[in-house]
Amino acid sequence: MEKVALMDFSYEELCAFVVEELGESKFRADQIGQWLYRGAEIEEMKNLSKDLRAKLSDRCIVGGVKIVKTLKSQHDDTQKFLFELRDGELIEGVLMGYHHGHTLCMSTQVGCRMGCAFCASTLDGLVRNLTAGEMLSQIVAVNKELGGGRHVDNIVLMGSGEPFDNYDQVVSMLRRLNEKNSVGIGLRNVSLSTCGLIPGIDRFKKEGLPVTLCLSLHAPNDQIRNKIMPVSCAYNIKDTIAAFARYIDETGRRGIIEYSLISGVNDSVECAAELSRLLRGLRVHVNVIALNPVKERDLNAPTAARVQAFLKELENRHISATRRRLMGEDIEGACGQLRHKTKQEQNA
């Protein structure tokens, strides 16, 4: 009989499994749930009988990911984690320390098929989707690594993968963040970043989840966006911004525009002016970040003066914008870099 992954069960599903399949009480399901979200192995579940632990070992798998490498930045509070999945695949996450707590940048897929020119996650294409349990396990593993308890306060779905390309599992994970015994993260502490899959944006706004939506825009027009983001060939910038505006209107949440400045590509003052015109009247904030270069790509970060001039132009045109700190630059901070490098070393 194939073993079931307990982390893939919602609270209700776990209760049903424990009562109907294992013949135990709902109280036991609660105990198991508490252990699961502490990242415990079956043999560590000491308040369960030996008999029940044996049944669990026979029928179930606990945990979804384990941390196999941790890199700590010398410059800031950032830590990068390489997670191994049960099938040996690798994903990564970045933990950033802010004054308002710890934010974990999580992956939603192994690899990504979106092909953005500045991103290491897409270098090997999409390998597979993550399950909701594997996503939650990233938070559990980091909490455990930091000493147990609930250390991760906020999550951003901005690691490897396009969340709307794994829609059902991502939404299932979001619904489970704050259920009984889980990781205790409210949806207002969640940001989801999309490269602009319009059907996903329109569907997501109907879910009733108060999540901040971030649009990876990175260009003020179709000509530039087509060069660096293949998704732009399927969904033009005008329609993408319109879908984003519908999400903002319907949810009442302020939207975030992500804009990585790439030297000589999208970083001119004219680009800033065009971006301002595109965003005029929208309740958005622009996060401007200098590119964290990926070795395999021939794209570079602009000078600090150019970044400053870009921001100044947005400010002059009354667009709310800040320069996001480049965190973890010394620890393969760009999305997908650590996984790609480790895979290459494994295959050498």
Report the interface residues with ligand SF4, using CB under 6 A: 112, 114-116, 119, 121-122, 160-162, 195, 216, 335
Pick 77 or 296: Cβ nearer ligand SF4: 296
Tokens of 321: 């914008």
Smallest gap from residue 224 Cβ to ligand SF4 (A): 15
Smallest gap from residue 153 Cβ to ligand SF4 (A): 23
Q: Would you give the end-to-end CA distance of the chain in angstroms?
A: 37
Pick 195 or 311: Cβ nearer ligand SF4: 195
Residue 313 known to be catalytic: no
Cα three-residue angle 279-280-281, rounded to 5 degrees:
110
Cα three-residue angle 207-191-205, rounded to 5 degrees:
20
Report the relative pairing of strands 109-111 and 126-129 from DSSP bridges: antiparallel
How far apart CA 266 and CA 343 sit, in angstroms, is 31
Smallest gap from residue 43 Cβ to ligand SF4 (A): 37
Smallest gap from residue 37 Cβ to ligand SF4 (A): 27
Residue 92 known to be catalytic: yes
C-beta neighbour count of 203 within 10 angstroms: 13
Pick 37 or 247: Cβ nearer ligand SF4: 247
Pick 39 or 255: Cβ nearer ligand SF4: 255
Burial of 148 by CB count in 10 Å (0-12 exposed, 13-18 middle, 19+ buried)? Answer: exposed
Catalytic residue among 24, 92, 329, 332: 92
β-pair partners for 257: 215, 286
Q: Which residues are catalytic?
A: 92, 335
